[in-house]
Amino acid sequence: MTSTATRVLVLNSGSSSVKYQLLDMADGARLAAGLVERIGEETSRLAHTPLATGGDKRERVAPIADHAAALNAVAEELAADGLGLDSPELAAIGHRVVHGGSQFTEPTLITDEVVAEIERLIPVAPLHNPANITGIRTARALRPDLPQVAVFDTAFHTTMPEAAARYAIDVETADAHRVRRYGFHGTSHAYVSRKTAELLGKAPEEVNVIVLHLGNGASASAVRGGRCVDTSMGLTPLEGLVMGTRSGDVDPAVIFHLARNAGMSVDEIDSLLNKKSGLIGLCGDNDMREIRRRIDEGDEQAQLAFDIYVHRLKKYIGAYYAVLGKVDAVAFTAGVGENAAPVREAAVAGLEELGLVVDAGLNGIRSGEARLISPEYARVAVAVVPTDEELEIAAQTYALVSAVSA
Ligand SMILES: Nc1ncnc2c1ncn2[C@@H]1O[C@H](COP(=O)(O)OP(=O)(O)O)[C@@H](O)[C@H]1O
Ligand SMILES: CC(=O)OP(=O)(O)O
Ligand SMILES: [Mg+2]
């Protein structure tokens, strides 16, 4: 890495999308950002915003067959702005990797052995890790000389005590198949819990925070003094909260029941719980904006979906309050958490005895800034703290390559 190389490209490859950002870590400037969606479909779309030049957002709507083609298209868009992957100013590429098992507790410099290890984790992350690996392979082919770093969703949660991380099933079977609770969205939980401490004017070590990451995937975490002590996702990102298309917690016997009595295969049940459940399964919509619109029109199915979503959320707030004993703040983040005031209001309603109160006026304010929405007298702060997984991945990537080259 040369001293002028301060830029980091962040790649967040999902099952059918790639989100990316190019950041300059010298000043934190965002130079470009974009999204490729519906990869593998006829209607693939790439949207690229050249932030450095202040140019207009560019869109390509044309079939993009796979993640490798997506990344090559992203490289072309960056090159068109003079920000190509061949730039000597590029210090590293940071990859979000969803499942790092128990072994990856830190951001990791990618080698062939690391790729092989991420591959070995595919059985426990079939939707996510294959896309992450393709992203890594393609990026390495484009710039074989450049350091590439894997930043794992699971890393922040590796501090969970065994009492929280283990399922109460036969130990030998569990260990033989690596069945335990790993947790996900860790980069977001780490970033948001730190930002929440900052908002309270305290060091992360001084505060206990419940973080509610409510995006398409959703998870809660209990963070004691900057370390995760429990989180709602488990072996896979299916456990826990009600999500856009995932059920979250169900009695595991639902699976046996459907297999034995509904004639469904394991793959069909997998798809049911991951893709046709949650909000979309309950009311046909997974976007909270649309659900709120329907509720305003008196739609009872949308109202019930909302109520089930909020009921689960409230249960986890209560559970993590008990896990932590003392709570300094509850922080809402990601698409729903940052934008849906009615979700925040309903999740905290009735918890005054726990010191949790939301001020309706503050809750109604729309802003992209981290902010408190609880009244000054409240014993527990309630906050809205925008997450920034890309910035956090870039920061961790840059810190690692700077340390290696120093
Ligand atoms: N203005 C809004 N009001 C309510 N919900 C919103 C709003 N904007 C986004 N959302 C919700 O946020 C979700 C996307 O969250 P996001 O964190 O971007 O998800 P992901 O990163 O998992 O794709 C949408 O599906 C929608 O439900
Ligand atoms: C792990 C996970 O659920 O990720 P996402 O929210 O991006 O689907
Ligand atoms: Mg997200």
**Which of 357, 352, 347, 269 has its CA nearest to residue 308?**
347
Q: Whose CA is nearest to atom 5 of ligand 2?
A: 217
Residue with tokens 């072309």: 76
CA of 282 to the centre of ligand 1 (A): 17
Cite the active site residues: 153
Distance between alpha carbon 241 and the CA centroid of its chain, in Å?
13
Question: Is 3 a residue whose pLDDT tops 90?
Answer: no
Residue nearest to atom 24 of ligand 1 (CA): 287
CA–CA distance, 292 with 397 (Å, rounded to integer): 38
CA of 141 to the centre of ligand 1 (A): 33
For residue 334, how far is its CA from the centre of ligand 1 (angstroms)?
7
Ligand 2, closest atom to CA 246? 3
Q: Extract the annotated binding site.
A: 12, 19, 96, 213-217, 287-289, 335-339, 389
Sequence-ordered strand ranges (E) for 5-159? 7-13, 18-24, 29-37, 45-49, 58-61, 90-97, 108-109, 148-152
Cα→Cα distances 184→13, 187, 231, 362, Å:
15, 8, 8, 30
Integer Cα distance of 49 and 59 in angstroms: 9
> What is the value of ipTM here, to two decimals?
0.98
Give me the pLDDT at residue 45, please: 95
**Per-residue pLDDT tens over the stretch 174-206:** 999 999 999 999 999 999 999 999 999 999 999
Q: What is the pLDDT of residue 375?
A: 97
Residue 180 · residue 201 · CB < 8 Å? no
In this structure, the chain runs to a length of 406
Contacts of 253 (CB under 8 A, 6+ apart): none
Instruction: State the DSSP string of 232-275.
Output: S--SSTTSSS--SS---S--THHHHHHHHHS---HHHHHHHHHH
At 49-106, the pLDDT tens digits run 999 988 899 999 999 999 999 999 999 999 999 999 999 999 999 999 999 999 999 9
Locate 57 and state its tokens: 């957002």
- Indicate the pTM of the whole model: 0.95
User: What is the rounded CA–CA span in Å between residue 406 and residue 222?
Assistant: 35
pLDDT band (50, 70, 90) for residue 2: low
pLDDT value, residue 281: 98
Mean pLDDT of the chain: 95
pLDDT tens across 345-370, in order?
999 999 999 999 999 999 999 999 99
Residues with CB under 6 A from ligand 1: 215-217, 244, 286-289, 334-336, 339-340
Of the pLDDT bands very low, low, confident and very high (cuts 50, 70, 90), residue 404 is confident
Report pLDDT digits (tens) over 148-180: 999 999 999 999 999 999 999 999 999 999 999
